[in-house]
Structure 1
Amino acid sequence: MRFAFHKMHGLGNDFVVIDARALALEITPPRARAIADRRTGVGCDQLILLEPSDTADLGMRIFNADGGEVEQCGNALRCVAQLTNARTIDTAGGLIEAAAGDAGVSIDIGAPRFDWDAIPLAYALDTASLPVGWETLEHGAAVNVGNPHVIFFVPDLAAIDLERVGPVIEHDPLFPERVNVNVAQVTGPSALKLRVWERGAGLTQACGTGACATAVAAIRRGLVISPVTVSLPGGDLRIEWAPGETIRMTGPATHVFTGEAELEAFG
């Protein structure tokens, strides 16, 4: 069976987007992992599968490069909104609203959640300042923005070996569904630098939900004021949030190429 796909990226966080609204495709974890493989597949951080939805313009499923299915991906949401002109997108992390503008694609990803069992954590802790640590990373903040994040604020982002410590924190038993690990440095009254170890994908050039979670945590601690410019290796995102409101993320989305492949080639 032959299928078409789009290669897209948001600030270097890259995706294979398959539109299965008209013709259903079976995507299993091994098949998603094979498509995402950068040597023998198409290659991507996440595989995005578009499906029909009864409650939105379309439904969107997200598979990380390791084949695991996850709830949310902010950069992919911007790409899908640009590709399809969808204004409402149904995801496992909730119903998302999108709009295109001069500054890029803007996504309303809903309100953040802070309760320990909404992250989720394995047991009750203060999610504003977790009383646990991993080496020099201490007093992290836990936020769920459709998927789970832990955020650490450090004086020198370059001093953190995130590629080494990231997977240790991701798989810590404190996080029963694993976790995305964010390390940030405040660089101005409304500015942050950020690196992210993504659950199931590793280090990426950008993470939209990570930028949202980190900006929210920084605003809660009084470290920055909204709107916040979050600078990632792949570029900048603008995050707006106030307590009690939803989070709005604005940034670019880029279409790289369209291709075709045989589904059976991936298992």
Structure 2
Amino acid sequence: MNGAGNAFVLIDARGRSAPLSLPAERVAAIHARHAFDQLLTLETHPVETALLRVWNSDGGEVGACGNGARAAAWLLFEQDGGETLSMSSRGGRLTARRLEDGRAEVNLGRPRLSWRNIPLSRDMDTEALDYEVHLPGGGRLTRPGAVSMGNPHVTFTVSDVSAIPIAQIGPMIEHDILFPQRVNAGFAEIRGSDRIRLRVWERGAGLTQACGTGACAAVVALHRQGKLGRAAEVEVDGGRLGVRWAEDDDVYLTGPVELEGEVDLGGLLS
């Protein structure tokens, strides 16, 4: 599957008698056969519609994936019907509703804004971090906003996102000691009060076609800095996402989903 170009392998493991065992080497073996940005599993949950689990392509299990949650919700609606559903995840409880055009809108919950909850390694104002990155060709990026959407993000405002050497500076930001759980680094070019162009270096996955939690984090961070409204269209490499930071403080994500087909994982699961 993909969500705005964000590539997934999704395993529907509901009904299994035991949880899937997916150590990092097994995730890497699946990635070697079927390249993905994130591996998703749907498993049985005693209360919610399903348990959603997420692994990055480097084999690390993570707490959240906005586009993955949208893709999983869309598949559940297609298979099971209904208009609303809920999923449990490491990042918290997720709810979704089916829109009239067939897409799924996912509520990713409230953004986490305190330095401890992102987390950072020391106390700092998360609205505009006292943090800077020097660019290889000269110049610097400063004062990013920090937000957790169940996973940590920083978003830098840039004048031309296509000119930023993300592949060079992304790993450095991801592994900076300020971010004890590593971090996703977003680079946002503001194109209006309700529109941005965004590229994201994802921890454990690199530069991807789209990042749903990154889009949500960017809208929250830029609104906190007075640069954007509470709702915006986010243009990513793979398409367009809709983000809405509602007055109840929850963040909602919409966008396209495509089911590309089925793959054989025989021998790689247990």
Superposition TM-score tier, normalisation by shorter sequence: over 0.9
TM-score of the pair, normalised by structure 1 = 0.92
Identify which of 29, 32, 42 aligns with 2:27: 32
Partner Cα distance (2:220, 2:4) in 1: 20
TM-score of the pair, normalised by structure 2 = 0.91
1:144 and 2:136 are equivalent in the alignment: no
1:120-161 Cα offsets, whole Å, 9 max, x none, are 000101111111111112101110111100110011111210
> Which amino acid counterpart does residue 5 of structure 2 have in structure 1?
G
How do 1:42-53 residues align onto structure 2 when only pairs under 5 Å count?
42-53=34-45
Q: Is the 8 A contact 1:36 1:46 kept in 2?
A: no
1:151-196 Cα offsets, whole Å, 9 max, x none, are 1001111121011100100000100000000000100111000000
Partner Cα distance (1:83, 1:247) in 2: 21
3-state SS, counterpart of residue 30 of structure 1: helix
Identify which of 91, 94, 99 aligns with 1:93: 91
Partner Cα distance (2:122, 2:254) in 1: 34
Partner Cα distance (1:56, 1:126) in 2: 36
Partner Cα distance (1:51, 1:32) in 2: 17
1:154 and 2:158 are equivalent in the alignment: yes
Partner Cα distance (2:122, 2:255) in 1: 35
Q: Is the 8 A contact 2:246 2:252 kept in 1?
A: no
1:230 and 2:234 are equivalent in the alignment: yes
Distance 1:142 1:259, change over 3 A: same
Identify which of 208, 211, 216 aligns with 2:220: 216
Partner Cα distance (2:230, 2:56) in 1: 30
1:21 and 2:14 are equivalent in the alignment: yes
Structure with more of its chain in strand, by fraction: 1
Pairwise CA distance, 1:59: 0.1
How do 1:157-236 residues align onto structure 2 when only pairs under 5 Å count?
157-236=161-240
Partner Cα distance (1:259, 1:195) in 2: 29
Distance 1:219 1:242, change over 3 A: farther
- Greater shift, 237-246 or 92-101, is seen at 237-246
> Which amino acid counterpart does residue 86 of structure 2 have in structure 1?
T
> Which amino acid counterpart does residue 159 of structure 2 have in structure 1?
P
1:239 and 2:243 are equivalent in the alignment: yes
How do 1:69-148 residues align onto structure 2 when only pairs under 5 Å count?
69-85=61-77, 87-103=85-101, 104-135=103-134, 136-148=140-152
Pairwise CA distance, 1:260: 2.2
Q: Is the 8 A contact 1:105 1:250 kept in 2?
A: yes
Gap regions ≥5 residues in structure 1: 1-7
